[in-house]
Amino acid sequence: MEDAARLLQLVVNGAAAGCIYGLIALGFVLIYKATEMINFAQGDIMMLGGFFAFALIAHFGLNYWVGALIAILLTAAFGFALDAVVLRRVIGQPQFAVVMLTLGLGFIFRAAAGITWGYDSVGFNTPFTNRTINLHGLILGQDNVSIIVGTVLLCGVLYLFFSHTRLGVAMQASSQNQLAAYYMGIPVRTVFSLIWAISAGVAAVAGILLSPVSMIDVNMGFLGIKAFAAAVLGGFGSIPGALVGGVVIGIVEQLAGYFLPAGFQEVTSNVVLLATLILRPQGLFAEIAGKRV
C-alpha cells in the first residue's frame, strides 16, 4: 500500500512536470506547424511570462488571477511583436538560419531578464502554493494538480479554437501552403504573428502554472530542451501529441529517478528523444508526408 501510494505520487508529480513540458512543446508545435520554424527560445519566453507575472503580482500587488491574465496577454503581445519585427524577415531563409536566430534570441532574453529582475529565483503567492488535496487518503499538492487541470483546460480551448473558428482554420491553411493562402485572401503574415502570440501566451501559462512548484529564475527556459523530447515523441505536427509526449516523459523521468541508479534521471529525456527519432521518427501521432515528384 505504501509503495502504491508512493508510485501514484510519482506518477502525479511526473504528470504535472510532463504537463509543463507538454505546454512548452505545444508552443513549439504550433509555430512549427505554421511556419516550419523551430523556436529554440520557447522556454525563454516561458521564463519571461513567469517574470511578467511576478512583476505584476508580487511587485505591483495585483490579484493572482488578474495578474496572471495580464501577464499572459503581455507575453502574447510580446510574441506577436517578436514575429512582426524580427522573425518575419527570415521567412524563406534556410531552416538552419531560423534555428540559430531563435537560439540567439534566447540568449538575449536571458540577459535582459537578468538585468531587469536579477539572477536569483523569485516567486509569488498563488492560490495553490503549499496547499494539498486529500484524495481518499492520498495527499497531492494543489500546485501539481493545478498544473494538470490548467493544461487540460487550455488544450480544450485551443482545440475548439483551431477546429471551429475561422481564424483557426485560416491558421491551418497558412501553415500548409503560404502562397495559396495569400491568394485566398488570408493575411498570412498577420496570421503567423497571431500564431506566435498564441504560442507565447501558452508559454506564459506554463510559466505561471510552474511557479508554485519551482521558482522563477533566468535559467528556467532550459526545460525547453526536454520539451523537445516531448514534441518529438508526440509527433512534431500533432498538438495532442505534444501533450501526451510531455506527460509520458515526465512520468518516465520520475520513475527512472526512483528505480534506476543515480545519474540516470538526467539522461532520460534525451534517451527517449533519441530512441523515438531512431525507432519511430513520426512520433506517437504521426503526421507523415511524402513529396510527389
Partner 1 sequence: MRYLFKTDYRQDTTLWRHRGDLFWYGLLGIVLLAIPFVLSEFYVGELGGVFVFAVAGVGMMLLAGYTGLISLGNAAFLGIGAYTDAILLTHGVPLLVALPVAGLFTGLFGIAIGLPTLRMSGLYLAIATLAFGSIVGTVFQKWDAVTGGFDGFAVPAPDIFGVPIQNATGIYYLSLAVLVIVLWFSANLLRTPLGRAMVAIRDSEISAQSMGIHLARYKTFAFALSAFITGLAGALFAHYVRFLAPDAFDVLLSVQFVTIVFVGGLGSLHGVILGALFVRLLPQFIAIIRDDLPYGIGRMPGLEPSLYGLVLVIVILFEPGGIYGRWIKMKRWFQAYPLKRRTSFRRQKSYARSERLR
**Positions in the binding site for partner 1 (CB under 8 A):** 35-36, 38, 86, 89-93, 95-101, 103-108, 110-112, 114-115, 119, 178-179, 218, 225, 228-229, 232, 236-237, 263, 266-267, 270-271, 273-274, 277-278, 281, 289-291, 293
Rounded CA separation 26/174 (Å): 18
Nearer to partner 1, 63 or 270 (CB): 270
Q: Please report how close the Cβ of residue 254 comes to partner 1 at its closest, in angstroms.
A: 18
Looking up cell 503549499 gives 130
Nearer to partner 1, 13 or 276 (CB): 276
Nearer to partner 1, 212 or 224 (CB): 224
Q: Please report how close the Cβ of residue 3 comes to partner 1 at its closest, in angstroms.
A: 28
Nearest to 36 by CA among 185, 195, 154, 161: 195
Nearer to partner 1, 36 or 131 (CB): 36
**Contact (CB, 8 A) for 222 and 110:** no
Q: How many Cα atoms within 13 Å fall on the side-chain side of residue 205?
A: 27
Rounded CA separation 189/205 (Å): 24
Q: Please report how close the Cβ of residue 36 comes to partner 1 at its closest, in angstroms.
A: 6
- In Å, how far are 38, 81, 82, 255, 284 from 192, measured between CA atoms? 13, 11, 11, 39, 26
Instruction: Count the neighbouring beta carbons within 10 Å of the beta carbon of residue 173.
Output: 16
Q: Please report how close the Cβ of residue 263 comes to partner 1 at its closest, in angstroms.
A: 5
Nearer to partner 1, 152 or 275 (CB): 275
Nearer to partner 1, 150 or 257 (CB): 257
Distance of CA 137 to the CA centre of its chain: 32
List all residues 6 or more positions away from 151 whose beta carbon is below 8 Å from its beta carbon.
19, 22, 23, 209, 243
Nearer to partner 1, 100 or 153 (CB): 100
Q: Please report how close the Cβ of residue 267 comes to partner 1 at its closest, in angstroms.
A: 5
Q: Please report how close the Cβ of residue 248 comes to partner 1 at its closest, in angstroms.
A: 16
Between CA 234 and CA 237, with CA 236 as vertex, the angle to 5 degrees is 105
Q: Please report how close the Cβ of residue 222 comes to partner 1 at its closest, in angstroms.
A: 9
Sign (positive or negative) of CA dihedral 157, 162, 165, 166: positive
